[in-house]
Structure 1
Amino acid sequence: ASAPQTSKRAPAAKSKTESRENAWKSTGIVALRDANLRELPQKLFDREREFALKLRNLDATNNELREIPREIGNCVNITRLVLAANVIETLPDEIGALVKLKTLIVDGNRLRALPATIGSLKALQTLSACECELSTIPTTISTCIALTTVKFARNKSLDSSALDALADCERLEEIDASVCALTVIPAALGRLKRLRKLNIDDNVGVHTIPSEVFKSCESLTKLTGYGTSIRRVEYTDGYDDYVARVKNRHGKIISGNSMIVDERRGLDYGFDLRD
């Protein structure tokens, strides 16, 4: 009798798996998007087989992951970790061991908090945790000295303490805290000399922008507060300085023929200018 077909296919399947794993080891790139995973392959974190030390880029977007194993801390050379669109409830403290990590994206999970050890990520440049269940962020984030972009949009319980924690991240260029539960914009944000974009749209509890933000955030050219309770912002001390920067920036862009402004509406200053 002839051998079952499954016995012929098994070596091919094994060969395919080995080929994939060899590619992981040679490139350091692991792409596991849309793979219907409930957990990450344990071998990724195996130091003895060198997977962990070779891993540079892991993208496990859109799976059914509920947790990230503590062994993620073995991946000390990883620079990009994308875990968006899963059902993760917590990140392990060991994530603080990823000292070369530059990008961390965890959008669309069930996270209620980020570990305090995130403050150990001195190389982290981009942190995105949009559409989770965060109510605050750890104050240790202030020691992430390389941060340039932080996005916490659509965390509907996230309060103003999140912005307080970011005020010491001197390299920050962009903050997206739209659709949260902010009530106050801290004057301490004025220390962010490199901040270019600040989005606080749809935070109805916010009534004012402190003058320090307009006057001292000298790189700020895109501040949007639509859907807030801010009124008559044009009378805030420093607002004219902000408007001058916006006009100067758009003037340069227009002169370079890379942007067209609708003359009927004029420039968009980011607020509803009404009583």
Structure 2
Amino acid sequence: MEVAGDKSSPDSSTITVHVKFSGRTLPISLSPDSTVRDLKSLLQPLTNVIPRGQKLISKGKVLADSSSLKSQQVTDGSKVMLIASQGLHQGDGPITKEVTSSSTNTRRTFNGKQSQIHKTETVLNRNRCDRWKSTGVVALSECQLKEVPDEVWACGSSVRVLDLGNNFIQEVSIKISALKSLNKLFLNANDILDGKISWESLSSLKSLTVLSLNQNQLTAFPSTLGTLTSLCQLHIANNKLTSLPEEIGLLKQLQILNASNNRITSLPSSIGNCQSLIEIDLSSNLLAELPETFGNLHNLKALHLRNNGLKSLPSTLFKMCSQLSTLDLHGTEITNDVLRQVEGWEEFDERRRSKHQKQLDFRVGSGVFDEGADDGRGL
């Protein structure tokens, strides 16, 4: 078994790969020892294309899922092209540059009359508003937006899902409080800075269960985060966060926390109060230790700690977190010898092996070999 976090393991410094997709360039930071499959997993929430539908090409060569980036000569600054297969996507699927261009050209074919263009756009906007109100879903990802259209706020309490990912939005205004029934808010890959989010208005959205702010420019979260008590998923990866507020402990319903690729140096002990947590990803931060209260997370199944400065784990982690079966410690100083000294190691190791065997059996029985399986990286 590969030793997780052994000092003799390959270089685990972070590189940035520039992935070109649908007329945009997506910078992705990860270890050179990560596999192509890892890169595809990071691209899924940014592109809506599932890993099985992604074809990655570098220097004219298709990258193999199981190969490491280093072995494929993908280094810091490398450019990779993503080609998406039709039908293998989430939601409305990727919005291509050609679709935007085609719709624009269509609007400009009405005898070249500016008044007719304005009339057509008004009709389109009205139809779009009606559709948003009837479905409750506002899908505006990859629309080159610099601000949220006013028609969105006009939909009010009809909106349940708002996807504004992969745009150039810099501000989340006070107007967001009009979306009182909002369940899911996606603001991935924008240009949002500290002070540009009306946290007071955001905290009024008491039905919010999913908040995604991956890949922005945030350095801190205010205490008002603790008022979003219905939150089940919090995605804040690829920002510049240095800490999490003590009030995170008030999120009793939180099941998934992804705060990877930030600059977090320590965690509040109150995180132990988030006892609904099932999965935590704190990879690629600056953590030197974890609070002992991690042992209170009895429902925790997966803990990702890759690329941190950790030398030990909370003493009660294995004993108290009796459902934990996935633990990624690559790029840390924690070796298997250290792990074997932690109480409850044998039981955890048995759960890990059992899970791995079930995944192998599933892959063999179903013929699915590219998704959802433990490939031996980490524990």
What is the TM-score when the length of structure 1 is the normalising length?
0.87
User: 1:92 matched to which residue of 2?
Assistant: 198
Alpha-carbon spacing, 1:255–1:214, altered in 2? closer, same or farther (3 Å): same
Which of 137, 140, 146 does residue 32 from structure 1 map onto?
140
Q: How does 1:244-259 map to 2 (within 5 A)?
A: 244-254=350-360, 257=365
Paired letter, 1:218: S
Paired letter, 2:238: E
User: 1:107 matched to which residue of 2?
Assistant: 214
- Distance in 2 of aligned mates of 1:8 and 1:105: 39
User: 1:195 matched to which residue of 2?
Assistant: 300
Decide which structure has greater strand share. Answer: 2
Alpha-carbon contact 1:130-1:154 (below 8 Å) kept: yes
Q: Do structure 1's residue 130 and structure 2's residue 234 form an aligned pair? A: no
SS in structure 1 of the partner of residue 273 of structure 2 = coil
CA shift, 1:160, in A, is: 2.0
Alpha-carbon spacing, 1:18–1:202, altered in 2? closer, same or farther (3 Å): same
User: 2:59 matched to which residue of 1?
Assistant: none
User: 1:77 matched to which residue of 2?
Assistant: 181
Which of 160, 169, 172 does residue 68 from structure 1 map onto?
172
Q: Do structure 1's residue 14 and structure 2's residue 119 form an aligned pair? A: no
SS in structure 2 of the partner of residue 104 of structure 1 = strand
Paired letter, 1:217: C
- Distance in 1 of aligned mates of 2:217 and 2:149: 21
Q: How does 1:215-234 map to 2 (within 5 A)?
A: 215-231=319-335, 232=337, 233-234=339-340
- Distance in 2 of aligned mates of 1:251 and 1:4: 65
What is the number of equivalent residue pairs in this alignment? 258
Alpha-carbon spacing, 1:212–1:86, altered in 2? closer, same or farther (3 Å): same
- Distance in 2 of aligned mates of 1:260 and 1:54: 39
SS in structure 1 of the partner of residue 316 of structure 2 = helix
User: 1:117 matched to which residue of 2?
Assistant: 224
User: 1:44 matched to which residue of 2?
Assistant: 152
Deviations along 1:184-238, one digit per CA (max 9) or x if unpaired, are: 02221111111000000000x2101123111110000001100001132223222
Deviations along 1:152-171, one digit per CA (max 9) or x if unpaired, are: 0000x212225x34211011
Deviates more, 1:215-224 or 1:118-127: 118-127
Alpha-carbon contact 2:129-2:152 (below 8 Å) kept: no
- Give the RMSD, CA atoms, in angstroms: 2.3
SS in structure 2 of the partner of residue 167 of structure 1 = helix
Alpha-carbon spacing, 1:63–1:10, altered in 2? closer, same or farther (3 Å): same
SS in structure 2 of the partner of residue 30 of structure 1 = strand
Alpha-carbon contact 1:211-1:238 (below 8 Å) kept: no
Q: Do structure 1's residue 237 and structure 2's residue 343 form an aligned pair? A: yes
- Distance in 1 of aligned mates of 2:113 and 2:368: 64
Structure 2 unmatched ranges of 5 or more: 1-110
Deviations along 1:104-126, one digit per CA (max 9) or x if unpaired, are: 11000001112321211121111
- Distance in 2 of aligned mates of 1:21 and 1:182: 45
- Distance in 1 of aligned mates of 2:352 and 2:292: 21
CA shift, 1:179, in A, is: 0.1
Paired letter, 2:302: K
Paired letter, 2:147: E
Alpha-carbon spacing, 1:4–1:103, altered in 2? closer, same or farther (3 Å): closer
Alpha-carbon contact 2:249-2:270 (below 8 Å) kept: yes
Alpha-carbon contact 1:211-1:239 (below 8 Å) kept: no
Alpha-carbon contact 1:220-1:242 (below 8 Å) kept: yes
Alpha-carbon contact 1:137-1:165 (below 8 Å) kept: no
Relative contact order higher in (CA < 8 Å, ≥ 6 apart): 2
What is the TM-score when the length of structure 2 is the normalising length?
0.64
Alpha-carbon contact 2:324-2:348 (below 8 Å) kept: yes
Q: Do structure 1's residue 186 and structure 2's residue 277 form an aligned pair? A: no
- Distance in 1 of aligned mates of 2:375 and 2:292: 26
